[in-house]
Amino acid sequence: MKLLTFAHRAEAQAFLKYKNWTSVETTPFNLYQHNSHLLLITGEGIENAMVSTSWACSKYAVQEILNFGICGSLSEENAIGSIHHIRTCYREASNSKMSFKSFSSNESGNIDIISTSSRIFNDTQADFLDNFATLIDRELWGIGFSAFKLNLPFKSYKMVSDIVGENEGFCEIIKEKANEWSEGLLDIYINMTDHDEKSETRESHLFDNPLFNDFYFTVSQKRKFYSYLKIIHARGYSIDSFFNDHKLLNQENDPQKLKRSKDATKEILNKIEKILFPHNAAIDGEIKKLQDDLLEEQIRITFHPEKETDEFHLNMRLENEVDFENKIKKLGQINLNKIFTLFRGNDV
C-alpha cells in the first residue's frame, strides 16, 4: 500500500477529484483511500508531518511514502512552476543552525531541500540556508524521519511556488494558483503509477469470486478481507484453492451462516490471519496459555492489542494476606520474556 502525503488539502485537490477516494479516518488526521493507495493531509510543519505520517503508516500496511507539495526556492534558477524530484532533505534546527540528521529519498533526484521551522522572510536567514540547498519547505524532514524509523522508502515531488523574498502577496498567489499547481503534481503521479493502475485493475477482480457472494461484511471487515485476498494472490495462490485446501468454507462456515452473521465472517478472517501470519498465531497462543493459567488464581492479564510494547496490565482481587501471597507466588512463576521475545519478531 502506498501513502500519499500533502501538507494542505489545496495541494491535494486535483488528486481527490481524479479518483473516487473514500474517507477512512477524520481524527486525528484526514485520511482517504482508493484501492491500494492512501492519501493523508498532514497539516503544516515538521511535527505535524512526522506524527501524522507515523500514525498512518503504523495503522495501515504502508509499503512506500510519496510526498507531493509546493516549496519555496532560494534561487531564481529554480523557476516558479518547475517540479523537482528531491534527493535529500535537511532540517533547520533554529536560526543559523542546522540539524545533523538528513534523509535521502528513493528517487534519483539531483536537488536537495531544507525543512524549516517557520516561513522564511529574512534575507540573512535565506542566505545562510542557501549554503545547504536551494529549496525549502515545512514538512519533508518530518516525513523522512518517519520513513527512516519505520524502515520505509519515500519519494518527494515538489513544485516551486515562489522565490523567497520576492512575492509580498504570497498567500493570495497560493490561493489563486493552488488548483493549477495541484494538477501539475497530479501529472507526475499519473505517469509514475500507470503500471500500478493496471495492476490494481487486475486485483479488483479478486472480490468477483462466487465464493464470496453470500458473505456478510462490515466496512472494516471488507477492507481487511480484501487486504488478505491480495496477500494470498501475491504469494501465488489461487483464491479458490486456498479456501478449499484450508477448508475455510466447510459445513461449519457455510455461506448461509455467513450471510446471517458478521461474527462468522470474523471467524474466517481470524483463520486466514493465522494461516498467513503464523508468527502472530504463535503469540496469541502463548498469551492464551498464560491467561488461562493465571485465571486459576483469578488473575487477569492483558497486553497491548497490537503487541507494540512490553506493557501489560494485571487485574486481581485480594481477599486476605494468604490470597495475596498465593497470587504473588503465581506471578513469580510466569515467563513474560518468552512472550516479549515473540513480540519482537523472534522465535523462542
Residue pLDDT, tens place only, 178-199: 878 888 898 888 877 765 554 4
Q: Is the pLDDT of residue 115 over 70?
A: yes
Give 84's contacts (C-beta < 8 A, 6+ positions apart).
71, 78, 109, 111, 135, 157, 158, 159, 160
Q: Give 167's DSSP letter.
A: -
Q: What is the pLDDT of residue 201?
A: 47
SS3 103: strand
pLDDT digits (tens, 9 = 90+) for 276-288: 877 667 777 888 8
The class of domain 2-192 in CATH terms is: alpha beta
pLDDT for res 250: 62
N-term to C-term CA, the chain: 31
User: Which sequence spans correspond to the domains of the chain?
Assistant: 2-192, 199-276, 278-343
In this predicted structure, the answer to whether residue 60 has a pLDDT above a threshold of 70 is yes
Q: Tell me the three cell numbers of residue 10.
A: 489545496
| pTM, entire model | 0.56
In angstroms, the Cα distances linking 106 to 65, 152, 295, 308 are 10, 10, 50, 27
Amino acid 313: pLDDT: 83
Instruction: Say how many C-beta atoms besides its own lie within 10 A of residue 32's C-beta.
Output: 21
H/E segment holding residue 242? helix 239-245
